[in-house]
Chains A and B, each alone.
Chain A
Amino acid sequence: MPDVNFIVDGQKLTAPAGTLLIDACKSAGIEIPAFCYYPGLSLQAACRMCVVRIEKAPKLATACTTTVAEGMNVTTESPEIAQARKATLQLLLGNHPLDCPVCDAGGECELQDMTFKYGAADSFYTEPKNHREEQKWSPVVYFDRPRCILCYRCVRMCGEGMDVFALGIQNRGSSSVIAPNVPSQLASLLNAGADQAQLDCEQCGMCIDACPVGALTSGTYRYKTRPWEMNHVATVCTHCGDGCKTTLGVRSVSDGSEIVRGDNRDKSGMNGDFLCNKGRYAFDFTNNIERLTSPLVRQADGKLKPVSWDEALKFTGKKLRELRDTRGPQSIGVIGSNRTTNEENYLLQKFARTVLGTNNIDHHRTADFVTLANALQGTTGRFASQRNVENAQALLVIGGDPTNQAPLTAWNLRTNVRLNKARLYIANHEEIKLRRQAKDFIQVQQFGYGSLASYLAGNNAAAEGASIVAQADQLSNFRTAIQAEEKLIVLIGNEVRGGELANLIKALPNARFALMADYVNSRGASDMGLLPDALPGYQPLSGSALANEYTAPTAPGLDLLAMFDAATRGDLSALYVVGSNPIKRFGIDPFALKDTFFIVQDLFLTETAQIADVVFPAANLYEKAGSVTNSYGDLQLVSKAADKAGTRSDFELIVRLADHMGHDIKTLVPFGKGLRADMGQSRGAQSGEADRHAVWLMANNMEPKLSPFDPFAILDEIQRVVPGYDKLLRLQLLSGNDQHIAPASTGLVQIENRKDLVLPSSDTLFTSGSLTRYSPMLQDVQRHQETEVADHLAAD
């Protein structure tokens, strides 16, 4: 679009023709108030707050529906305009309950702000306000109807943004009210006097987020606190592999600090507007009463008993050292986590390889990143980032179900299709929800992804095994269409791995790829070398500079399952599990570990922790600083939001264990290079959404790393030794930005006939591995979906 010149409040402005006046003004720093306008959603022009005076126009015009035109002369503030806005506010406030002192939105309310600005404080109505009772639509969504100003943001967010269409408008005129759309069979029940409508949706809370007032409130947060009583700490969600930024509202309590809210209020992260159910609400496991707050050691009577930190660490360090020295490093196994930070993962494998002296290290793998890195060796720019999904013109999703597995990816795909008309192709064995946005959909045979890869590579004979198609030429048209795409982003679910993944990548030589993994740091766990056959950055166990530095064994160690096999044979003297629940996840017989000294670090007494000899209470991702890498390889920093008395970060625990084993921890953590006193504990400690203190220290080259527990000392080492992580823009990251990381294109470990050992977590929108059962919210939502909604439907 060509640029046009126009004048706003006397300022000469230029913007592309077709730009909405309200957006053009915003870009120029002129704010026009609006309730119903929401960037990216369809226009409403319903609130009439954005009225402006356009020269020669007969009446005030709405800036949200006016596009800029050459020579347009606009006034955005004048007595006339202020009066129009004031009158609109007076009308709104006429029926508004004005219960601001107890309203969740008090202090964060657009209606309050506007009233403050235009001074519509005088009321001249004597009639009773229209009142309606508050409704509970689901465990996480409450609707206080009198507070609603009917801006329809929630309706549009749910329909256009989420493609769920769970909300609509009932009645008309002053009786209009937002209400859940209910299936007809449920509606008949409602008319018969059944309960109020229940929200059958993805429970994402986007409606609440978009609500400019306190009409929609969240079940986990409502009436808990006032916004200004919280500190707001921006960090990264622990749940899926998308790595959304979430801003946690934190309040001091007697035993530390407590997270009371999750949202994305400054919309600065790569998730922009978006957060899903888990990102928004499923922080509540951190406050669960079952959190471990003391080390446990198994006593002679076979019971786990709380002991002091000193006792537990001394005992464990001594025992581990003994076992290493008597039964040999190769008799010890280490299992890491896909929810711990990069620094912790790096440290853990370094601990295994240099302190214990073994390659017996693994984690619960949820995507085959080793094959991806390997297949893309020798190329550059072939790893897709989450940002690509936002704006790529063509995308192919093979396997997986982003809606359930990677909600931000699904949001970006939908938004990209809706706003940018991106072409989305989907190949899946099921008719996933995103099919509604797809230009073309191919139903893959169960276990037919290998054949599909082969077919895409040109093997026509593989067609039959690849797909269930309605028409003969459907599959070939699909192949032709995606091959014609010059810049294709390919997202691959965890159905595709190993040789099939390599074939698929070969079949699409110009495309960029990303794997959809589960949990916040699956990619980081792989990248940081929680693998028995590769060092950090997928470097080989021998020959690389890092291998020489480590002087660790050069033969691959035991993988996760082999460790348990070894334990069953009595060959595993000790097993150290950090933040993982393999007993449950892999269905391991607990008796396999009866002769193994078993150390577990976790938040809860999981199935795995229950059979351990020593259990250390660990901090979770929201209680520590560091960095994580999402499925795409986008690295972000996490900040310490909350604090739980009695727990310690996995980082600290690993360092302390090494210390108690008699290891020189300076060789493990290169600390002591900073200029100032130990400030590691203050990092990210609730100093605002971007950690300005840390940014300032970094910018002045004064970052303190005097503590052996400072993850940033390890981040320095990661930058030094892990290819791909060598060019981190630390200032950018500290400011809350993300940076895309790709493995090195040369010098990677060679793999042949490798067991990928990928076990998809199969999480839904309302589960998150072992954390699910410790989140009351997730439990409630599951119950809601299974009973309230399902019951009504079944009753038909």
Chain B
Amino acid sequence: MPTLVSHPDEVKVVSRRFGLGAEAIDKYIELDGYKAVQKAIEQGPEWIVNEMKASGLRGRGGAGFPTGMKWSFVPKVSEKPKYVLVNGDESEPGTCKDHVIFLHDPHAVIEGTMIAGLAIGAKMGFIYLRGEYRYLLKIVEKAVADAYAKGILGKNIFGKEGVDFDIITQTGAGAYEVGEESALMESLEGKRGVPRIKPPFPAVVGLYGGPTVINNAETIANAPHILLMGGEAYAKLGSERNGGTRLFGISGHVERPGVYELPMGYSLRKAIYEVAGGIKDGKQLKAVVPGGSSCPVLKADEIDVGLDFDQMGKAGTMLGSGGIVVLDETVSIVEFALRTIRFYQHESCGWCIPCREGTDWLKKTLTRFHAGGGNKKDIDNIQYLAENMMGRTFCPLGDAAAMPTLGFIKKFRSEFEEYLAGARVEHPLIQIQPVGEPELAGAH
């Protein structure tokens, strides 16, 4: 189990039970667990949604959509059953926040799911874990089983007649794409994990055709705390229009990497230099990928920015999933760009042309470039490819591949040019075994 880190600047809300043994249901209950859901049952859906709206909580998956508003979109009356879906397909490189929630506080996710269910009138929730988190499944499944055993899940929960809620857990099979909400639903239904056409949005036609609220695991885990402390109090923890706190996974070349819960709007510079202890081994900062690998890179002089959705947007990047990747001076941007695109090429579902072909050509070109076979035209071609993927793909994966690529090219063009001139970093790229390419052969 990874060591937990902490820093005095942290404001612990969703992480307040981390390391206290709250994965055991009795401990969870002792630490105010399952109080929020009982309060929610008493107060009713309208109150829940209002508190959520007041909290200013925005989706922690990366898009930052206001959660209370999302819940309010679900039609009151529906012929088909409604569902709550917890997106635990945490796959964005640099991101490991949901991981610690499932590990240390699985009941918070269960309680949050129940609250969302109460808010929209659903009687069933699904917790979908990424395939690579299979080892967390035991923990989550035990938590669910314990909740059933205590009468917290199932029929007539908390002894309340007619109040039912069930939770089903499911793992993926190893596809980043399934983190996209509609692809996740396809996957959960047992189909190929490709996104659906929107509209209709999940709130209207979602899982199995029923109205569905789908939220990131961290978002859901915040719900019980919000109901207990009150939406407004939660909102005050954060910055303007960005309520509350957030788990930031700081990784890369820092002294104390780890997951920290910081208030929204907290300074990125402070997060790197104070919270995470500064650049490792006294080296210089070169760049920061601030919210998971799909966010455009920030240069060392661009980090005086607050960590919330709006300020990051203004800075030309995104808050994303909160996965802050810190790169020191030794990192070759060419190599980093290649690593990034290799991920997206590998994870592209293949559905639409710009993403399927675009990521492939980006990878091929960058691979050759990295291996020393590049030329000046390649830099323009990479930019052209990425620009023509942006906004043209079926789902945001294409953007996720194009945005960082454009960032690297635009902000570090000179490094690409120097790379051509021979300024190459002499450590070979770790070879990733290609998966699912049994018959590819270079011919023609």
- The reply to whether A84 and B388 contact each other, CB–CB distance below 8 Å, is yes
- The reply to whether B350 and A150 contact each other, CB–CB distance below 8 Å, is yes
**Chain B residues, Cβ within 8 Å of A65:** 197
- B391 an interface residue at 8 Å Cβ cutoff? yes
**Chain A residues, Cβ within 8 Å of B192:** 169
- The reply to whether A131 and B350 contact each other, CB–CB distance below 8 Å, is no
- The reply to whether B377 and A124 contact each other, CB–CB distance below 8 Å, is yes
Q: Please, how many angstroms separate the alpha-carbon atoms of A133 and B438 in the complex?
A: 12
**Chain B residues, Cβ within 8 Å of A543:** none
Q: Please, how many angstroms separate the alpha-carbon atoms of A132 and B443 in the complex?
A: 9
Measured CB to CB, the closest approach of chain B to A497, in angstroms, equals 44
Beyond A87-B388, A124-B381, A131-B441, whether A173 also contacts B349 by CB under 8 A is yes
- B358 an interface residue at 8 Å Cβ cutoff? yes
Please, what's the 1-or-0 string for B218-260, where 1 marks a CB less than 8 Å from any CB in chain A? 0000000000000000000000000000000000000000000
Measured CB to CB, the closest approach of chain B to A124, in angstroms, equals 5
- A339 an interface residue at 8 Å Cβ cutoff? no
- A701 an interface residue at 8 Å Cβ cutoff? no
- B73 an interface residue at 8 Å Cβ cutoff? no
- A755 an interface residue at 8 Å Cβ cutoff? no
Q: Please, how many angstroms separate the alpha-carbon atoms of A702 and B213 in the complex?
A: 71
Q: Which of chain A's residues has its CB closest to B351's CB?
A: A46
Beyond A129-B444, A173-B436, whether A87 also contacts B349 by CB under 8 A is no
Within 8 Å by CB of B368, from A97, A126, A131, lies: A126
Beyond A45-B197, A124-B377, A128-B444, whether A173 also contacts B392 by CB under 8 A is no
**Chain A residues, Cβ within 8 Å of B50:** none
- The reply to whether B364 and A125 contact each other, CB–CB distance below 8 Å, is yes
Please, what's the 1-or-0 string for A114-158, where 1 marks a CB less than 8 Å from any CB in chain B? 000000000011111111110000000000001001100000000
Q: Considering only CB atoms and an 8 Å cut-off, how many residues of chain A contact the other chain?
A: 42
Please, what's the 1-or-0 string for A92-104, where 1 marks a CB less than 8 Å from any CB in chain B? 1011010000000
Q: Please, how many angstroms separate the alpha-carbon atoms of A94 and B362 in the complex?
A: 12
Within 8 Å by CB of A60, from B347, B364, B392, lies: B392
- B216 an interface residue at 8 Å Cβ cutoff? no
- B306 an interface residue at 8 Å Cβ cutoff? no
- B356 an interface residue at 8 Å Cβ cutoff? yes
- The reply to whether B349 and A172 contact each other, CB–CB distance below 8 Å, is yes
- A176 an interface residue at 8 Å Cβ cutoff? yes
- The reply to whether A169 and B353 contact each other, CB–CB distance below 8 Å, is no
- The reply to whether A92 and B357 contact each other, CB–CB distance below 8 Å, is yes
Q: Which of chain A's residues has its CB closest to B177's CB?
A: A172
Interface positions of A from 597 to 617, Cβ below 8 Å from B:
none
Q: Which of chain B's residues has its CB closest to A170's CB?
A: B436
Measured CB to CB, the closest approach of chain A to B65, in angstroms, equals 15
Beyond A88-B392, A91-B361, whether A48 also contacts B352 by CB under 8 A is yes
Q: Please, how many angstroms separate the alpha-carbon atoms of A169 and B350 in the complex?
A: 10
Please, what's the 1-or-0 string for A168-181, where 1 marks a CB less than 8 Å from any CB in chain B? 01011111110000
Q: Which of chain B's residues has its CB closest to A59's CB?
A: B391
- The reply to whether A43 and B388 contact each other, CB–CB distance below 8 Å, is no
Q: Please, how many angstroms separate the alpha-carbon atoms of A174 and B347 in the complex?
A: 10
Q: Please, how many angstroms separate the alpha-carbon atoms of A762 and B348 in the complex?
A: 49
**Chain B residues, Cβ within 8 Å of A88:** 353-354, 388, 392
Q: Please, how many angstroms separate the alpha-carbon atoms of A131 and B441 in the complex?
A: 6
**Chain A residues, Cβ within 8 Å of B1:** none
Within 8 Å by CB of B350, from A47, A146, A174, lies: A174
- The reply to whether B347 and A173 contact each other, CB–CB distance below 8 Å, is yes
- B393 an interface residue at 8 Å Cβ cutoff? yes
- The reply to whether B350 and A171 contact each other, CB–CB distance below 8 Å, is yes
- The reply to whether A175 and B357 contact each other, CB–CB distance below 8 Å, is no
Within 8 Å by CB of B360, from A90, A124, A126, A173, lies: A173
Q: Which of chain B's residues has its CB closest to A88's CB?
A: B353
Q: Please, how many angstroms separate the alpha-carbon atoms of A46 and B350 in the complex?
A: 9
Measured CB to CB, the closest approach of chain A to B238, in angstroms, equals 26
Q: Which of chain B's residues has its CB closest to A86's CB?
A: B388
- A51 an interface residue at 8 Å Cβ cutoff? yes
Determine chain A's interface SS by DSSP, over half rule. Answer: loop
**Chain A residues, Cβ within 8 Å of B377:** 124
- A11 an interface residue at 8 Å Cβ cutoff? no
Measured CB to CB, the closest approach of chain B to A793, in angstroms, equals 24
Within 8 Å by CB of B444, from A91, A131, A174, lies: A131
Beyond A84-B392, A87-B388, A175-B436, whether A47 also contacts B352 by CB under 8 A is yes
- B175 an interface residue at 8 Å Cβ cutoff? yes
**Chain B residues, Cβ within 8 Å of A51:** 392
**Chain B residues, Cβ within 8 Å of A169:** 192, 350
Q: Please, how many angstroms separate the alpha-carbon atoms of A176 and B394 in the complex?
A: 16
**Chain A residues, Cβ within 8 Å of B392:** 48, 51, 59-60, 84, 87-88
Q: Which of chain B's residues has its CB closest to A132's CB?
A: B439
- B311 an interface residue at 8 Å Cβ cutoff? no
- The reply to whether A174 and B353 contact each other, CB–CB distance below 8 Å, is no
**Chain B residues, Cβ within 8 Å of A58:** 391
- The reply to whether A87 and B354 contact each other, CB–CB distance below 8 Å, is yes
Q: Please, how many angstroms separate the alpha-carbon atoms of A124 and B384 in the complex?
A: 11
- The reply to whether A130 and B354 contact each other, CB–CB distance below 8 Å, is no
- The reply to whether A92 and B443 contact each other, CB–CB distance below 8 Å, is no
- B267 an interface residue at 8 Å Cβ cutoff? no
Please, what's the 1-or-0 string for B174-216, where 1 marks a CB less than 8 Å from any CB in chain A? 0101000000000000001000010000000000000000000
- The reply to whether B354 and A91 contact each other, CB–CB distance below 8 Å, is yes
Please, what's the 1-or-0 string for A52-67, where 1 marks a CB less than 8 Å from any CB in chain B? 0000001110000100
- The reply to whether B353 and A45 contact each other, CB–CB distance below 8 Å, is no
- The reply to whether B388 and A83 contact each other, CB–CB distance below 8 Å, is yes
**Chain A residues, Cβ within 8 Å of B175:** 172
- The reply to whether B361 and A60 contact each other, CB–CB distance below 8 Å, is no
**Chain B residues, Cβ within 8 Å of A131:** 440-444
Interface positions of A from 326 to 362, Cβ below 8 Å from B:
none
Q: Please, how many angstroms separate the alpha-carbon atoms of A173 and B349 in the complex?
A: 5
Q: Please, how many angstroms separate the alpha-carbon atoms of A747 and B351 in the complex?
A: 63
Measured CB to CB, the closest approach of chain A to B439, in angstroms, equals 5
Measured CB to CB, the closest approach of chain B to A460, in angstroms, equals 37
Interface positions of B from 152 to 191, Cβ below 8 Å from A:
175, 177
Measured CB to CB, the closest approach of chain B to A501, in angstroms, equals 42
Beyond A48-B354, A124-B377, whether A174 also contacts B359 by CB under 8 A is yes
Beyond A45-B394, A87-B388, A128-B443, whether A172 also contacts B350 by CB under 8 A is yes
Can you list 27 A-B pairs with a CB-CB distance of less than 8 A?
A: A46-B353, A46-B394, A48-B394, A51-B392, A60-B391, A84-B388, A88-B354, A88-B392, A90-B388, A91-B358, A91-B385, A94-B357, A94-B361, A95-B360, A124-B381, A124-B384, A125-B361, A125-B365, A132-B441, A133-B439, A171-B350, A171-B437, A172-B348, A173-B346, A173-B348, A173-B350, A174-B345
Beyond A87-B384, A91-B357, A125-B364: 13 further Cβ-contacts under 8 Å? A45-B352, A48-B394, A60-B392, A87-B354, A92-B353, A124-B377, A128-B442, A129-B443, A131-B441, A131-B443, A132-B440, A146-B444, A176-B356
Q: Which residues of B contact A (CB under 8 A)?
A: 175, 177, 192, 197, 345-354, 356-361, 364-365, 368, 377, 381, 384-385, 388, 391-394, 436-444
Report, nearest first, the 4 A-B pairs whose CB atoms are least far apart: A176-B350, A87-B388, A91-B357, A174-B360
